[in-house]
Amino acid sequence: MVAITTSPKTQTRYYEDVLAHLPASKTTEYNKGQMIYDFDHRPRNIYLVLKGTVGISNLAEDGTEVLLDILRSEELFGESAFLEPRGRSERAQATQRVLLMTWAASEMEDLVSKRPRLGVGLLQVLIQRNADYAGRIESMAMDTIERRLARSLLRFSERLGTPTESGFVWMMPLSQEMLSRYVGTSREIVSHHMSRFRKNGYVDYSRTGIRLHRDTLKTVLD
């Protein structure tokens, strides 16, 4: 059995608790593909996504880049700024044109000391995020690649998609290379399974986006 991840509604509630105690700060805009920070430069700030999406990647022990998540509006990242310089290698990259609000790590620490509810909210966000990562690790250990890809598409459709009147969910384009880094396999294998999903009517995709039928795709997991 694969671990249950946090529902989008629960995640939203935790972020609302945090945002209620965060003061406004300076904003910065990044173009699609632009690095916010990379593996060689540990972040010094905590970031809040105001608009657009950000991909968060980590390096596995074998040097392989793993896409941890794609963060959307009103989600925080950059918590590795609290770690020592020898902390984990992480990269944040704008996957769309993105607008971020930032707080220096030292400023955030000061805010948490003055606003205990902010600290509790941040802790809840990090605990739930780690629970999601644990569920993905279990899926990688037990599921076939086809099931892992289906789970990934369903999760992205919940977080990033917009339901349509025809029963499909429309979401931003996700390259097969990006999906391969998220699922943990090669781009060629992802391409093979995506072609099968398209043939079976589960998904349709182009450079402009992905159209996904959630109910039919869920049959892959039955």
Mean residue pLDDT across the chain: 89
pTM, two decimals, is 0.87
What is the side-by-side order of every strand in the sheet holding 54-59? Answer: 35-37, 90-94, 54-59, 65-71
Query: Structural domains in the chain?
Result: 22-114 (2.60.120.10), 144-221 (1.10.10.10)
What are the pLDDT digits (tens) for 90-99?
899 999 999 9
The confidence score (pLDDT) of residue 171 equals 96
Question: At which residue do the structure tokens 């992480």 appear?
Answer: 90
Q: What is the dihedral of CA 70, 74, 80, 81, to 10 degrees?
A: 140
